[in-house]
Amino acid sequence: MPESPTLVVRVLRHPLMWPVLALGVLLVINVGVKPSFLDVRMQDGHLYGNVVDIMRNSAPVMLVALGMTLVIATRGIDLSVGAIAAIAAAVACTRIIGAGDEAALSTAVMAMTYAVVVCIALGAWNGLLVSVLGIQPIIATLILMVAGRGISMAITDGQITTVNNPWFSDLASGFVLTLPLAFLVAIGVLAFTAVLTRRTALGMLIESVGINPEASRLAGVRSRTIIWTVYAFSGFCAGLAGLVIAANTNSVNANSLGLWIELDAILAVVIGGTSLAGGRFSLMGTFIGALFIATLTRTIPNIGIPSDLNYLFKAVVVIAVCLLQSPKARAVLRAGRPSSPRPVPAKAGSPA
């Protein structure tokens, strides 16, 4: 290998290479089937087209996935995000209905603020179980995953609640600067997360705790605070996502709102190159991962397959990505190619 790798090699080695490539392949397939797929037109000062739809539809998953990225980086997982999203929607909708002026801007803002605060509290509850009681993340968040939809139904009294507030529905269908507001909110949270983690020391400390918890403890890192913070943040993100979803239909169905969004979010994180084993995380990777999922959802009807079948394709993606990340699978792949070095034998572990 030469001392300074060429541009091509550097691009090929870039961690975002694979997610971007996968997204590119999807787009090429779409254009191949329907050449006008990427067309964007201007109407009433708004942009319309498949690409714009993909942006808007990616927002909820992107929001949830940003919080999930930080949780996964600490070696955790948050299964409760779908339930938290349903609770956020329920809280906001019942607040809007209960307000004096249902259609007012202040009503929408108050309701959404209230919902988000509730969700941060729920996230902090998960953080409490994980960091203070030391319960495994998957188990700790399972509790709220089970109970959350019940709580959401209790808030809406088991009814599908419909609201009528134009400001609220703008969150999903509105446009700002020709772009969908929902997407801009997601971008905003992405930027906020980037600043939160990379302009403070949070990102470095999260990675440190995720890579080597014991070394971090001995270096004096307060991992309890860190873990607590990321779960609360994940609750915040899930709450926003719930609001966007509810705004999209102007209603909340506690049973189905945000169903399986935790799985989509985990998928987005994994596609983006953040390892489920924790450690280094990539917010841009998660961003592209969420776009990939939204594009996939759009691709399936576009190439003439019933959209309900997207689960099948997601299954394939999950397996493919996991196999690509699995060291064992890589070893098998490498062993198949005679030119490359053989996998390291088991004894190569440290001789201690």
- Residues of span 50-79 touching other proteins by CB under 8 A: 77
Q: Give the shortest CB-54-to-other proteins separation in angstroms.
A: 20
- Residues of span 243-282 touching other proteins by CB under 8 A: 254, 259, 263, 266, 270, 276, 279-280
The verdict on 4 binding other proteins (CB under 8 A) reads no
Q: Which H or E run includes 180?
A: strand 179-180
With tokens 């539809």, the residue in question is: 57
β-pairing, 175-176 with 46-48?
unpaired
| Total interface residues for other proteins by CB under 8 A | 75
The verdict on 232 binding other proteins (CB under 8 A) reads no
The verdict on 179 binding other proteins (CB under 8 A) reads no
User: Which tokens in the block code for residue 47?
Assistant: 């942009």
SS3 282: coil
Q: Are 107 and 101 in contact (CB under 8 A)?
A: yes
User: Which tokens in the block code for residue 196?
Assistant: 């939160």
The verdict on 327 binding other proteins (CB under 8 A) reads yes
Stretch that binds other proteins, among 2-10, 16-24, 140-148, 243-251 (CB under 8 A): 140-148
Q: Give the shortest CB-170-to-other proteins separation in angstroms.
A: 30
**Residue type, position 153, single letter:** M
For residue 242, give the nearest of 60, 62, 58 by alpha carbon: 60
How far apart (Å, rounded) are the C-alpha atoms in residues 251 and 257?
9
How far apart (Å, rounded) are the C-alpha atoms in residues 243 and 245?
5
The verdict on 95 binding other proteins (CB under 8 A) reads no
The verdict on 28 binding other proteins (CB under 8 A) reads no
The verdict on 121 binding other proteins (CB under 8 A) reads no
Binding mask 296-325 for other proteins (x = CB under 8 A): ----------x-xxxxxxxx--xx--xx--
Q: Give the shortest CB-7-to-other proteins separation in angstroms.
A: 19
